[in-house]
Amino acid sequence: MSEDARVYGGQPPEEPAPRLASAVQWLIAINVAVYFFQLTVLKPSDVQFALGFQTKNLGHQWWTIGTYMFVHGGFWFLALNMYTLWLFGPRLEQKWGTREFLRFYLFCGLGGWFAHLAFVPGDSLLIGASSAVFGVMLAYASLWPDEQLLVFGVIPATVRWLVVFAAALNVVGGISSTGAQGGVAYLAHAGGLAAGWLYLRMTAAVNLDRLRESVSPV
């Protein structure tokens, strides 16, 4: 047994996460490309209303249930989401695999859409990747809760408490506001966190790895 295996209790240590995993790379590229089209080829409002979700369009613009996750209302909104995805996504994708990571990401995005549909009155526009990104943060915290990070390279934070703070901020913001206050869809963010928690609970109960192993010979 190698020295590394002895140190880690008989299990080899995890390899360091790639700087940019494939799914994370594509997600960032698509979001940036859509924002580029907003600024150059088409009007931002045209892109937002074509790909963003509004309750009145549920019957005939069904694709907006998913495409809203790739549209942003401004540069800093996009930059913060993509930075957070870059910070937490690659290691999680390496741990789970690309398919599982994408499945989780989209599930959290749909959770944000459902929370917006169910709890936000009126017909406000829902755009942004925040719901899915909050789910990624939650999954990262469930696997590496005590890891120390330097947010923006300056602010020290433990992953667990960073996610707790983000969750509390969005729940309080959602309760105290209606719709998207100041352009922030607090309840959709909380929905992404709730969907991530539900997904993690379901997969823990089912144990997908063992299920795959048992059905793969068949």
Tokens of 135: 């789910």
Residues 8-65 have pLDDT tens digits of 334 444 555 556 668 999 999 999 999 998 888 888 888 888 899 988 888 788 899 9
Would you write out the chain's pLDDT as a tens digit for each of its 218 residues?
434 433 333 444 455 555 666 899 999 999 999 999 888 888 888 888 889 998 888 878 889 999 999 999 889 999 989 999 998 999 999 999 999 999 999 999 999 999 998 888 777 889 999 999 999 999 999 999 988 887 767 778 888 888 888 778 776 765 665 555 445 677 888 899 999 999 998 886 555 555 455 445 53
Q: What integer best gives the mean pLDDT of the chain?
A: 80
Element (H, E) at 157: strand 155-158
Residue 155 zone, left/alpha/beta (φ > 0; ψ -120 to 50; rest)? beta
Q: What is the pLDDT of residue 18?
A: 55
| Distance between first and last Cα of the chain | 34
DSSP state of 19: S
Q: How far is CA 5 from the centre of its chain?
A: 33
H/E element holding 149?
strand 148-151
Tell me the C-alpha distance between 163 and 184, whole Å.
17
pLDDT at residue 3 in the model: 40
**21: nearest Cα among 94, 95, 102:** 94
pTM comes to 0.80
Determine which helix (DSSP H) or strand (DSSP E) holds 24, and give its type and residue range. helix 22-40
CB 111 within 8 A of CB 195: yes
Query: Cα–Cα distance between 3 and 10 in angstroms, integer?
Result: 9
pLDDT at 68: 94
Torsion-angle region of 15 (φ positive above 0: left; ψ -120 to 50: alpha; else: beta): beta
